[in-house]
Amino acid sequence: MTNEFEDKHVQSDPEDVSSQPSRWLLIVLGLAGLILILALAWPALSNQITPKLDLTDASLAELENAAAADPENETLQYELAGAYYQAGRFEEAWAQFRVVEAYRSAVDTGTEIAQAEQAVQIAPSSKEAHFELGTAWARAQLLAPAEIAYQQAIALDGDYVDAHTNLGAVYYQMGRLSEALSEYDAALGVSADDADVLYNKGAAYVQQALQFVPPDESLLNQGVNEFQRALEINPNLPQAHFSLGVVYATRDQKQEAISEFQRFLEMDDGSDPEATSAARIYLTELEK
């Protein structure tokens, strides 16, 4: 499902990164995650979590030695690349990222990442450049690098709503839901009436709720409240209707679920065939 925001593109000249970046909010992750969890895929999502090293406990030299001694350890390779990145040693960072096969493969399939890397190297003090690189990485499902870039953007501007939101979405996809919620709260602290962030926050609460058997009702209620708040601000959020339908279906509130799925299909533009199919399946089952 595509987001509802107007695209605002960075100019093609990598030296000019002062313009407003494109706002690529990963709202679809919330919807996809709800579908996955209801298909009992939570263990698969959990496996995406990458342990983090505490860089304060080891010098850069020690980290270099550890990464060299265990070249198959993606976490170590990414941690070392991130340390170079944060130190402004970009050539070393790009080379170290490419030690990881998934990263090399992503770079080889297009030019977006390489161009975004260049923009960061040219303008390391630009929050937009780091944001755009994080976005390129997130689109390629390189979540650990994306986390690093968004954190750098936030370090340059603690009130950077889009960076907080996208970092929250990265944490969401990694299964780090408490951290996702913290980032959404940071975004809402700056922009309290952002319907899309409210939707994402609701999706994170529902994900948390569905980790329990039976689902945690308090967390489900928090999710529903966020979805409803989002719709009060922007009634044209089909994903919020879908997610409300999912919650009501888990509660066996059939009429409420039917109403939400029907509303979703009325608004659906067909851009997310998986969601469209899932909504129809839900309706078929609920209307029996």
Q: Please give the model's pTM, rounded to 2 decimal places.
A: 0.82
Q: Is the pLDDT of residue 36 over 90?
A: no
Q: What is the pLDDT of residues 115-156, one digit of tens each?
A: 999 999 999 999 999 999 999 999 999 999 999 999 999 999
Which has more pLDDT, 272 or 223?
223
Tokens of 145: 């690098």
Tokens of 114: 């390489």
- Sequence-separated (6 or more) residues with CB below 8 Å from residue 153: 127, 128, 130, 131, 134, 160, 163
pLDDT of residue 59: 80
Query: What SS3 string covers the chain?
Result: CCCCCCCCCCCCCCCCCCCCCCCCCCHHHHHHHHHHHHCCCHHHHHCCCCCCCCHHHCCHHHHHHHHHHCCCCHHHHHHHHHHHHHCCCHHHHHHHHCCCHHHHHHHHCCCHHHHHHHHHHHCCCCHHHHHHHHHHHHHCCCHHHHHHHHHHHHHHCCCCHHHHHHHHHHHHHHCCHHHHHHHHHHHHHHCCCCHHHHHHHHHHHHHHHCCCCCCCHHHHHHHHHHHHHHHHHCCCCHHHHHHHHHHHHHCCCHHHHHHHHHHHHHHCCCCCHHHHHHHHHHHHHHCC
Q: Is the pLDDT of residue 8 over 70?
A: no
Q: What is the pLDDT of residues 237-265, one digit of tens each?
A: 999 999 999 999 999 999 999 999 999 99
pLDDT band (50, 70, 90) for residue 27: very low
The answer to whether 166 and 185 are in contact (CB under 8 A) is no
pLDDT of residue 2: 29
pLDDT of residue 193: 96
Which has more pLDDT, 19 or 177?
177
Work out the percent of the chain whose per-residue pLDDT is above 70.
80
Of 267, 262, 274, 184, the closest CA to residue 229 belongs to 184
- Name the average pLDDT for the chain: 84
Q: What is the pLDDT of residues 69-92, one digit of tens each?
A: 999 999 999 999 999 999 999 999
- Return d(Cα 137, Cα 84) in angstroms, integer: 17
Which has more pLDDT, 62 or 18?
62
pLDDT of residue 56: 52
CATH of the domain spanning 27-47+100-286: 1.25.40.10
Which has more pLDDT, 181 or 50?
181
pLDDT of residue 201: 97
Domain residue extents for the chain: 27-47+100-286
Q: Is the pLDDT of residue 6 over 60?
A: no
